[in-house]
Chains A and B, each alone.
Chain A
Amino acid sequence: MIALFVFAYYLFTRLWMLLNYGAAGMGYDIGIYHYQIQKYFEQIGQSVVPFGFSNFSNMLMLLGDSAEIIMFVWYVALSVLIFVLLYLVVRNYFASKQAAIWALILFSISITQFEFFWWYYYRNFLAVALFLLFLLLYHYRSYLIILPLAAIGIIHPLSLAPIGLGMLIYCFLVDRSERIFILASGFVSALLVLVFNSNEVLIYLQELWHYHGLTANFILAGRPNMSGEFVTIPMWLGLSILYAPFGVYGIWIFRKSQKMFVCLFLSNLVLIFLGFALSKRFIIFVDLILIIFSAPVWYAIAQKIKKYDWAHLLLLLFFLITSAFSLFLVVLKLPMIQPFDLAVIKNIPNYAVDSEYIFTDSSHYAPWLQGYSGKKVIAPGMFDNDKWSRGQWLEFAKSSSAQQCEMLKSLHISPLYVFSGHINHVTGDCFIKLNNYLLKAGI
């Protein structure tokens, strides 16, 4: 009964933005995924480098799904799968249904988990589901763990780094037969990833080598996206106050019986503090492990105060208020762009019929344009059609309108359409205003 209520609450928080604002209600990665999924027919017969996610979306397209079904129905279905898998993982590892329900409660009201869902990091989201599947299959010591591990390596190779590191450390803490099981499964998974996703893995390895694997170096080279672009550590600590201290305490209590989790927790933590590429995304794995370990602690607290009616009531009241506060934050969340903005972007092909390009100096709007405008997007440091260096983009941003016109002329694209959203600064005299959002450069 409680589990059903928690599930209803969870589903409501996951559907709220989608039902209220549609695609505009999610984080701007949705534009990039829409673009990639739509490229299905272009990608037949050729390798999908460097975006392993296409291996998932293309297969679904092949099975008859539309881009919208993959983007929304499958995404919500995955969030349900994560919910169920989390329940099963906690129930099996701690042999307690009540602890599993506590994990669901904490997971549902976690704003970090909601933000992760909302930002629409689809392949990372898939990796989280597969990580939980790996944990569940590992509980059964089944060689089927090869499948989720290989799938993570194909979909999102960097998510495999903390798992691989954690399991490697764990190898030293187990007996010979289990060590063989882990190493054999790990080896076969790695082989599958290298054989089937070698192109993407090689690109990642080259980049990690070049930038010494550190986020700071990627940022210096003008690639802040390699930080993982998720919540900051102080913000995450603030948001996870309800379970992080209890999770740490749980890890300490169960450190001997749940060594694998301890290794996975520490490997993620080490990579985050070293500032490894995409390390901010590892926060979600740490957050999940803390939820898993705080659940039996919260359950033990509830059991201890069971005999005191007032304390029980207080605990119930505390969680009701926390859930209400969490719900309040979800309901009050504003989308990054308004549905009307997205409607205008979708309508761009009707205005810009005589050009295949669209220009924007806003990295905020660029992913939406990429996904929904049907045009090749020229945007600062993004996508395949980026025409300028970082220095030139900075120069463009600082220039006067006359200078901006000159710089746009140097692109030799005529006519050039410019998307001028609410936060766009392009206002030069060489533009004709088509509507409140779209300009046409008379060059």
Chain B
Amino acid sequence: MSCLFIFFIGFGIVFLFFHSQRRGLSFIEKLALSMGVGISVVIILGSVVF
């Protein structure tokens, strides 16, 4: 559940940034970038919330 949440946060951000710049990313790249960015956002959010 949390994994999906984090993935979609990351995917949203990566999509916004990379799609606007028309960069072709492979499937595995999208997946890894989404998870990584999602985890980064969750950590920053955690420092805001707690």
Residues of A within 8 A of B (CB): 43-44, 46-48, 52, 54-56, 58-60, 62-65, 77, 81, 84-85, 87-88, 126, 129-130, 132-133, 136-137, 140, 142-144, 147-148, 150-151, 154-155, 192, 196-197
The 8 closest A-B pairs by CB, nearest first: A55-B46, A63-B2, A133-B36, A196-B47, A147-B40, A59-B46, A151-B40, A151-B43
- Cα-based distance from A44 to B50 in the complex (angstroms): 6
User: Across the interface, do A59 and B42 meet the contact criterion of CB distance under 8 Å?
Assistant: yes
B-chain residues with CB within 8 Å of residue A126 when the two chains form the complex: 39, 43
User: Across the interface, do B36 and A77 meet the contact criterion of CB distance under 8 Å?
Assistant: no
User: Across the interface, do B13 and A144 meet the contact criterion of CB distance under 8 Å?
Assistant: yes
- Cα-based distance from A88 to B1 in the complex (angstroms): 26
- Cα-based distance from A142 to B23 in the complex (angstroms): 11
User: Across the interface, do A148 and B5 meet the contact criterion of CB distance under 8 Å?
Assistant: no
- Cα-based distance from A5 to B26 in the complex (angstroms): 21
A-chain residues with CB within 8 Å of residue B39 when the two chains form the complex: 56, 81, 126, 129-130, 151
- Closest Cβ of chain B: how far from A131's Cβ, in Å? 10
Selected A-B contacts with CB under 8 Å, 26 pairs: A52-B47, A59-B45, A59-B50, A60-B42, A65-B1, A65-B2, A81-B36, A84-B28, A84-B31, A84-B32, A85-B36, A87-B28, A126-B39, A129-B39, A130-B39, A130-B40, A132-B36, A133-B32, A144-B17, A147-B37, A148-B36, A148-B37, A150-B44, A151-B44, A154-B47, A196-B48
B-chain residues with CB within 8 Å of residue A48 when the two chains form the complex: 50
Select from chain B the residue with minimum beta-carbon distance to A64.
B1
Select from chain A the residue with minimum beta-carbon distance to B28.
A84
User: Across the interface, do B23 and A85 meet the contact criterion of CB distance under 8 Å?
Assistant: no
- Closest Cβ of chain A: how far from B3's Cβ, in Å? 7
- Cα-based distance from A52 to B3 in the complex (angstroms): 20
A-chain residues with CB within 8 Å of residue B31 when the two chains form the complex: 84
Chain B 1-45 near chain A by CB (<8 Å), digits 1 or 0: 111011000000110011000010000110111011101111111
**In-complex Cβ contact of A54 among B14, B36, B46 (8 A):** B46
- Cα-based distance from A192 to B28 in the complex (angstroms): 29
7 more CB-based (< 8 A) A-B contacts, given A133-B33, A143-B17, A154-B43 = A55-B43, A55-B46, A77-B3, A88-B28, A148-B40, A154-B47, A192-B44
User: Across the interface, do A136 and B33 meet the contact criterion of CB distance under 8 Å?
Assistant: yes
B-chain residues with CB within 8 Å of residue A59 when the two chains form the complex: 42-43, 45-46, 49-50
Q: Find the residue from B3, B14, B29, B39 having the highest chain A CB count within 10 A.
A: B39
A-chain residues with CB within 8 Å of residue B5 when the two chains form the complex: 63
Take A62-B49, A77-B3, A144-B14 as given contacts and tell me if A56 and B43 are in contact as well, using a CB distance cutoff of 8 Å: yes
User: Across the interface, do A142 and B18 meet the contact criterion of CB distance under 8 Å?
Assistant: yes
- Closest Cβ of chain A: how far from B42's Cβ, in Å? 5
Take A144-B17, A150-B40, A154-B44 as given contacts and tell me if A88 and B32 are in contact as well, using a CB distance cutoff of 8 Å: yes
- Cα-based distance from A83 to B25 in the complex (angstroms): 18
- Cα-based distance from A136 to B32 in the complex (angstroms): 10
B-chain residues with CB within 8 Å of residue A140 when the two chains form the complex: 18, 23
- Cα-based distance from A59 to B17 in the complex (angstroms): 24
- Closest Cβ of chain B: how far from A93's Cβ, in Å? 13
A-chain residues with CB within 8 Å of residue B32 when the two chains form the complex: 81, 84-85, 88, 133, 136
User: Across the interface, do B29 and A88 meet the contact criterion of CB distance under 8 Å?
Assistant: yes
User: Across the interface, do A197 and B47 meet the contact criterion of CB distance under 8 Å?
Assistant: yes
User: Across the interface, do A129 and B36 meet the contact criterion of CB distance under 8 Å?
Assistant: yes
Select from chain A the residue with minimum beta-carbon distance to B1.
A64
- Cα-based distance from A430 to B13 in the complex (angstroms): 63
A-chain residues with CB within 8 Å of residue B2 when the two chains form the complex: 60, 63-65
User: Across the interface, do A142 and B46 meet the contact criterion of CB distance under 8 Å?
Assistant: no
A-chain residues with CB within 8 Å of residue B18 when the two chains form the complex: 140, 142
Select from chain A the residue with minimum beta-carbon distance to B31.
A84
B-chain residues with CB within 8 Å of residue A43 when the two chains form the complex: 50
- Cα-based distance from A218 to B28 in the complex (angstroms): 43
**In-complex Cβ contact of B43 among A62, A81, A87, A155 (8 A):** A155
User: Across the interface, do A133 and B37 meet the contact criterion of CB distance under 8 Å?
Assistant: yes
- Closest Cβ of chain A: how far from B39's Cβ, in Å? 7
- Cα-based distance from A239 to B40 in the complex (angstroms): 31
Q: Find the residue from B6, B36, B45 having the highest chain A CB count within 10 A.
A: B36
- Closest Cβ of chain B: how far from A87's Cβ, in Å? 8
B-chain residues with CB within 8 Å of residue A137 when the two chains form the complex: 33
A-chain residues with CB within 8 Å of residue B50 when the two chains form the complex: 43-44, 46-48, 54-55, 58-59
Select from chain B the residue with minimum beta-carbon distance to A89.
B32
- Closest Cβ of chain B: how far from A56's Cβ, in Å? 5
